[in-house]
Structure 1
Amino acid sequence: MTVAGPARRVLVTGASSGIGRATAHRLATEGARLVLVSRSVEVLEEVARECTARGAAEVLVVPADVGDHAAVDAALATAVAAYDGIDGVVHAAGVAAYGRFQDVPPEVFEGVVRTNLVGTANVARASLRVFEERGGGSLVLLGSVLGKIATPWMSPYAVSKWGVAGLARSLQIEARRLPGTRVTLVSPGGVDTPIYDLAATVTGHAGNPPPPVTTPERVAAACVRGLDQQRRDVDVGRGNKLMVTGFRRLPGVFDRLVTPLMDRFGQDGRTKPATTGNVLAPARGEAVRGRWPHVWGQLR
């Protein structure tokens, strides 16, 4: 007879929408004990009910802004106190903004960097301190293919994700001296989540995910695998390697093509007034998936 081990204890940031919410759902089906973190209190309660229905052993909701290091420290402390430790952290919180660099308001640019890069640093710092004190654990960080290439109209996001990639590699090297500690970077391409509609924009349009588009569930599966086995960088998306190869090996060709391609595929055809989206505060519309199931061969 096989005896089940203790339920895995995992904290998930960005758990109210997209990849974070899909990751919480997947861990719930495994019977995990979850800590759900996001700025969106009411939505987190909804996600908690979804996770309980999917089989989570226990669900704890901890509202927090990852850009606030004290709030992140408190969230980790709450998780450790509630579950007598934590086995893994999946950091999926992220926001985006569209516009020419000089047109994006400074507070929006700084808000994207604060959530995506400073937030990653805050979560990583708090997690690694807990892992060091308690003998190990797994940290999974969400990067992006835009942490390896550059495009027009998305400089805040690209800057933040290039930073996340650099931070992740530094942490992976340092973690070699922390027994039992694993750090994995997951780098998706276009994903069918609401982040594009929730993004800030000053272009007159909402954003679109770059094709080919994959599902948040597929990225979530990579995140959960990262809790079990460290990988330096897990690409999720059929087009990632082609984009990165073009950017690195054919920069002149890439630079000529990327702007018309972003005009055609990276922007929604409908007009949208300038907005700060969910960069500075939560916005309505959080869900697992967005509205792009039709774009170029989505995989589940």
Structure 2
Amino acid sequence: MQLSRGPRTGSRSSDAPAPRAVGQGAGPRGRLEDLPRVVLVTGASSGIGRATALRLARPGAVLALVARGRAGLDAVAADCRAQGADVEVHALDVGDDAAVAQAVAAVVRRHGRLDAVVHSAATIAYGDVADVPARTFDAVVRTDVLGSANVARHAVRQLRAQADARPGDGGTLVLLGSLLGHIAAPWMGSYTVSKWAVRGLARTLVIENRPYPGIQVKVVSPGGVETPVYRRAATFIGRHGKPPFPVYAPETVAERVVGTLARPRSARRDQQVGWANPVVIAGFTYLPGVFDTLVRPLLRAFGLDGRTVATTTGNVHTPSDRSDPTGDDAPRRRRTRDSR
């Protein structure tokens, strides 16, 4: 694990009240002054993680940014520092439990506590389950499932320690889910399996932490989002993926995450981002035969790029080391900021 931090803006002891960031507004469901101060964000070098970090970056905020690629992390960290935040970066693979443990411990050593964790890191491999090599399938599961478990494990241990030290204390864990955690689709088996697992993990954590009313565990599940994850994915079908309609900006999802952090007790357990999500989930649940017939041609038309590409393992095994909010090599598509 590689650690870097910018100028220190102050720390506090674990028995001091949790200070809040200050500023104007925090999105549709809360004010910025209601946000937790010390926040760890994974997948922070691009996409939703990057947008969340930038949305949280204000004077008084303390951000610990995590991703595999150091250069991309440093670029996002510089942008967050320019907005007044105290930032440290941890270049690590969330699939490495020891590295995650070290990062959480480093944050707590420096700042005395951890108020919230946003887990956004993920990878994708396109191809039939029968055609994706075991090494690549397993690597996706390692990042998306085991990485989620590792982050949750060490986050919850720290939040419980805070609750034990001061009854009513705790913190918030937000896991990024997906529409594919509620349905199934061809060519995305490892990712679909992983996002179903994330939803199961989150519900388990909710049940296990009922004795700790100060600990909140939430899932934010977007549909199509304009991020680099699609074009950086592994593909064994001769096509890159693309976000299906309706396509949302990563900032839209970040707004929902930030709103959840501002009002964790009142936020729903699993929040859908995108008006189409409930419609698609209803079709999958109540019209399974129709859904199974239509999903393949619809995904081919709206979820795959039309250009032929060579087989690649993308960033599944090695990071794409740059900061990229949406995938600047992808063709521009109309995006909506509506977060219904």
TM-score relative to the length of structure 2: 0.84
Match of 2:283 in 1: 246
Report 1:9-88 matches (<5 A). Answer: 9-29=38-58, 31-56=60-85, 58-88=86-116
Match of 1:132 in 2: 160
Question: Which of 307, 319, 323 is 1:270 aligned to?
Answer: 307
Superposed CA RMSD in Å reads: 1.6
Question: Which of 192, 200, 214 is 1:158 aligned to?
Answer: 192
Could you say what secondary structure the match of 2:275 adopts? Answer: coil
Report 1:112-127 matches (<5 A). Answer: 112-127=140-155
Specify which structure has the higher proportion of helix: 1
The structural deviation recorded for 1:294 is 2.3
Distance in 1 (CA, whole Å) between partners of 2:83 and 2:331 is: 25
Could you say what secondary structure the match of 1:102 adopts? Answer: coil
Distance in 1 (CA, whole Å) between partners of 2:322 and 2:276 is: 27
Asked if 1:187 corresponds to 2:221, the answer is yes
Could you say what secondary structure the match of 1:186 adopts? Answer: strand
Distance in 2 (CA, whole Å) between partners of 1:82 and 1:297 is: 39
Contact 1:194 1:285 in 2 (8 A): no
Distance in 2 (CA, whole Å) between partners of 1:211 and 1:200 is: 21
Greater CA drift, 286-295 or 41-50: 286-295
Asked if 1:145 corresponds to 2:179, the answer is yes
Match of 2:166 in 1: none
Distance in 2 (CA, whole Å) between partners of 1:88 and 1:185 is: 13
Question: Which of 263, 278, 287 is 2:324 aligned to?
Answer: 287
Contact 2:71 2:321 in 1 (8 A): no
Asked if 1:111 corresponds to 2:158, the answer is no
The structural deviation recorded for 1:179 is 3.3
Cα displacement string for residues 237-262 of structure 1 (whole angstroms, at most 9, x for unaligned residues): 12101110000000000011000001
Contact 1:215 1:299 in 2 (8 A): no
The structural deviation recorded for 1:64 is 1.3
Structure 1 residues 296 and 249: alpha-carbon distance in aligned structure 2, compared to 1, 3 A threshold: farther
Contact 2:222 2:274 in 1 (8 A): yes
One-letter amino acid matched to 1:47: V
Structure 1 residues 48 and 286: alpha-carbon distance in aligned structure 2, compared to 1, 3 A threshold: closer
Contact 2:70 2:321 in 1 (8 A): no
One-letter amino acid matched to 1:294: R
The structural deviation recorded for 1:227 is 1.8
Could you say what secondary structure the match of 1:196 adopts? Answer: coil
Contact 2:123 2:316 in 1 (8 A): yes
The structural deviation recorded for 1:222 is 1.2
Distance in 2 (CA, whole Å) between partners of 1:9 and 1:38 is: 17
One-letter amino acid matched to 1:60: E
Match of 1:99 in 2: 127
Structure 1 residues 292 and 146: alpha-carbon distance in aligned structure 2, compared to 1, 3 A threshold: farther
Gaps of 5+ in 2: 1-17, 22-36, 164-169
Contact 1:145 1:240 in 2 (8 A): yes
Gaps of 5+ in 1: none
Distance in 1 (CA, whole Å) between partners of 2:61 and 2:322 is: 26
Contact 1:142 1:186 in 2 (8 A): yes
Structure 1 residues 265 and 6: alpha-carbon distance in aligned structure 2, compared to 1, 3 A threshold: closer
One-letter amino acid matched to 1:17: S
Number of residue-to-residue matches in the alignment: 296
The structural deviation recorded for 1:84 is 1.2
The structural deviation recorded for 1:5 is 4.3
Could you say what secondary structure the match of 1:101 adopts? Answer: coil
Could you say what secondary structure the match of 1:10 adopts? Answer: strand
Contact 1:52 1:59 in 2 (8 A): yes
Distance in 2 (CA, whole Å) between partners of 1:70 and 1:248 is: 39
Match of 2:210 in 1: 176
One-letter amino acid matched to 1:220: A
Greater CA drift, 174-183 or 240-249: 174-183
One-letter amino acid matched to 1:87: D
The structural deviation recorded for 1:97 is 0.8
Structure 1 residues 271 and 234: alpha-carbon distance in aligned structure 2, compared to 1, 3 A threshold: same
Distance in 1 (CA, whole Å) between partners of 2:156 and 2:162 is: 10
Distance in 2 (CA, whole Å) between partners of 1:109 and 1:6 is: 41
What is the identity percentage for the equivalent residue pairs of Structure 1 and Structure 2? 53
